[in-house]
């Protein structure tokens, strides 16, 4: 009997992964290839589109080579969100860098739009605040930079998120499209009307004709063409933002269920039963859409999460993250030390581009172990800041909370999350939740699985971590954290004079 599978690509900020998922939901093979990031100026973060494609292709070829006997029925894509690029429609060549979700180069443009009073209308239409994390102002920056370099006509330019770029490349340059979850993060897509918004395109000065077609997350966008290592005609059957893919991969399909993805940054997301304008500090987004029907979600985006661990390890002279966490576990608390990883500003719920990293609460007894533990706890504290907004505003309450991403393998880190959320978290045997979500959506599109309900039996076993921190200790630590965040968000001059 032929072994059938879905090939899922998970193109992330630091690496591209490829995973073969069998029809029983088991991962048959996987591979990963790193993706380089550049920081040409303070606060600027960019990547090379061709490097992203080469990395993705390398991962795909390596993965498939492990199981050449498998029949691949379709391809699903999950991708880093809010990263944006433009390319030439005729040649397929990128016209500038990929400006990533972490990049703050358009902070002044966002501030100018806020000062002009545009933010309430933008939030009402998109669920997103005016912040340089989101692509709309970055698109204008790319178009202006290209024009200054001697641009071609706008009709010859494609604008796209990373899923659109990969769909273009996998289809041999024949399809320019994205899914609703990625479109919803551009700040150009009207969530209520489910289309590119003419008023927003005018506000941000983005030509609508350059934007991709928008389809359901589970949809045959096209077929592969001229891709080394893949046959022509393989259905490109799903696309979804990586955080959304993880939510679907976990099976968080009941209103109120959520997940926390730990990576370079973090995404905290809970599903809601209908569109609700976002309370201050978080966003409303489209989690996914199936059969033309969107599922909505509250979300908070944390800019620096697990990325603080290797940085702190280097700062403290530790050889790796594992050694840093071993050091952190040698003390029972930070003894008042807090580390706020605002290295590129703060995202949800603070949305402060000017914020910068702070280590506070130091005293003579403080040592490297306390700083190491403070770095670990910062991941949990930032998630709790987001949930402090989501929980009281969720119309459906909070149900199961899943965790994923590389750090979710560590019981110490996830125990801190459960403690500071004061809510149980469910861990998973696989950390490839984004890829699994893309695979499940692709399998639905090509008929490998008949319906969403049939996926429940395929999902991996769960572990559960319950909170154990005493309420008084939790409250004390949260107050100390809030004070540290206040210091991080002071204007630089105020910090100098304090």
Mean pLDDT of 41-66: 95
Mean pLDDT of 379-405: 91
**CATH architecture of the domain with range 4-252:** 2-Layer Sandwich (3.30)
68: Cα separation from own chain's centroid: 31
196-200, 213-217, 321-325, 462-466: lowest mean pLDDT where? 462-466
Model pLDDT, residue 102: 87
Q: What is the DSSP string of 255-307?
A: TT-EEEEESSSEEEEEEESS--PPPTTSEEEEEEEETTEEEEEEEEEESSSTT
Alpha carbon distance 182, 373 (integer Å): 35
Contact 307, 266 (CB under 8 A): no
What tokens were used for 147?
């024009």
Alpha carbon distance 170, 226 (integer Å): 8
Q: Which stretches does DSSP call E strand in 303-413?
A: 338-340, 358-360, 401-404
Model pLDDT, residue 496: 40
Contact 238, 180 (CB under 8 A): no
Check whether 197 has a pLDDT greater than 90: yes
Alpha carbon distance 109, 448 (integer Å): 46
In order of 120, 152, 185, 255, 266, the CA distances from 279 in angstroms are 12, 41, 17, 18, 19
Residue 405: pLDDT band with limits 50, 70, 90: confident
Check whether 153 has a pLDDT greater than 60: no
Model pLDDT, residue 277: 84
Q: Give the model confidence (pLDDT) of 74-87 as tens digits.
A: 999 999 999 999 99
Q: Domain residues of the chain, as ranges?
A: 4-252
Q: Give the model confidence (pLDDT) of 342-370 as tens digits.
A: 998 898 999 887 899 999 999 999 999 99
Q: Give the model confidence (pLDDT) of 231-249 as tens digits.
A: 999 999 999 999 899 899 9
Model pLDDT, residue 460: 62
Model pLDDT, residue 461: 64
Using only C-alpha atoms, the chain has a radius of gyration, in whole angstroms, of 22
Model pLDDT, residue 224: 97
Contact 356, 487 (CB under 8 A): no
Q: Give the model confidence (pLDDT) of 283-302 as tens digits.
A: 999 999 999 999 999 999 89
Model pLDDT, residue 148: 64
Mean pLDDT of the chain: 92
Alpha carbon distance 418, 407 (integer Å): 14
Model pLDDT, residue 1: 67
Model pLDDT, residue 498: 38
Mean pLDDT of 161-180: 97
Residue 264: pLDDT band with limits 50, 70, 90: confident
Model pLDDT, residue 492: 52
More confident call, 192 vs 338: 338
Helix H or strand E segment including 249: helix 242-250
Is this prediction's pTM over 0.75? yes
Model pLDDT, residue 406: 83
186-190, 213-217, 384-388, 400-404: lowest mean pLDDT where? 400-404
Model pLDDT, residue 453: 80
More confident call, 458 vs 398: 398
């Amino acid at each position: 009997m032929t072994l059938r599978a879905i090939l899922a690509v998970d193109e992330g900020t630091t690496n591209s992964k490829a995973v073969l998922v069998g029809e029983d939901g088991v991962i048959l093979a996987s591979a990963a290839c790193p993706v380089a990031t550049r920081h040409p100026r303070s606060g600027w973060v960019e990547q090379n589109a061709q490097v992203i494609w080469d990395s993705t292709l390398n991962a795909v070829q390596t993965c498939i080579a492990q199981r050449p006997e498998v029949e691949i029925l379709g391809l699903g894509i999950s991708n880093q969100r809010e990263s944006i690029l433009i390319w030439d429609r005729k040649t397929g060549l990128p016209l500038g860098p990929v400006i990533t979700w972490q990049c703050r180069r358009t902070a002044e443009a966002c501030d100018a739009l806020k000062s002009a009073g545009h933010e309430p209308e933008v939030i009402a239409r998109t669920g997103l605040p005016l912040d340089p994390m989101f692509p709309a102002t970055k698109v204008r920056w790319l178009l202006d930079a290209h024009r200054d370099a001697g641009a071609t006509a706008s009709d010859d330019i494609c604008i796209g998120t990373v899923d659109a770029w990969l769909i273009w490349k996998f289809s041999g340059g024949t399809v320019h499209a994205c899914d609703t979850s990625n479109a919803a993060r551009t700040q150009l897509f009207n969530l209520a009307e489910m289309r590119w918004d003419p008023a927003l395109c005018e506000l941000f000065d983005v030509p609508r004709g350059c934007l991709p077609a928008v389809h359901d997350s589970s949809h045959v966008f096209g077929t592969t063409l001229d891709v080394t290592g893949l046959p022509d005609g393989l259905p490109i059957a799903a696309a979804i933002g990586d955080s959304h893919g993880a939510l679907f991969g976990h099976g968080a399909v009941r209103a109120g269920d959520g997940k926390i993805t730990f990576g370079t940054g973090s995404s905290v997301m809970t599903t809601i039963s209908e569109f609700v304008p976002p309370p201050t500090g978080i966003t409303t987004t489209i989690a996914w859409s199936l059969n033309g029907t969107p599922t909505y979600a509250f979300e908070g985006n944390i800019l620096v999460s697990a990325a603080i661990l290797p940085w702190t390890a280097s700062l403290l002279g530790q050889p790796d993250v594992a050694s840093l966490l071993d050091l952190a576990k040698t003390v029972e608390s930070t003894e008042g030390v807090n580390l706020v990883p605002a290295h590129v500003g703060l995202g949800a719920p603070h949305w402060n581009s000017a914020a910068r990293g702070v280590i506070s609460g130091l005293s003579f007894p403080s040592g490297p172990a306390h700083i190491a533990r403070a770095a670990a706890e910062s991941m949990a504290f930032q998630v709790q800041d987001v949930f402090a907004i989501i929980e009281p505003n969720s119309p459906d309450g909070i149900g199961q909370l899943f965790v994923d991403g590389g750090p979710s393998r560590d019981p110490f880190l996830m125990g801190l999350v459960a403690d500071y959320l004061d809510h149980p978290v469910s861990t998973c045997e696989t950390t490839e939740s984004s890829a699994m979500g893309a695979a499940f959506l692709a399998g639905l599109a090509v008929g490998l699985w008949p319906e969403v309900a049939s996926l429940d039996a395929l999902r991996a076993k769960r572990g559960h971590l319950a909170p154990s921190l005493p309420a008084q200790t939790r409250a004390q630590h949260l107050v100390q954290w809030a004070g540290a965040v206040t210091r991080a968000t002071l204007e630089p001059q105020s910090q100098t004079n304090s």
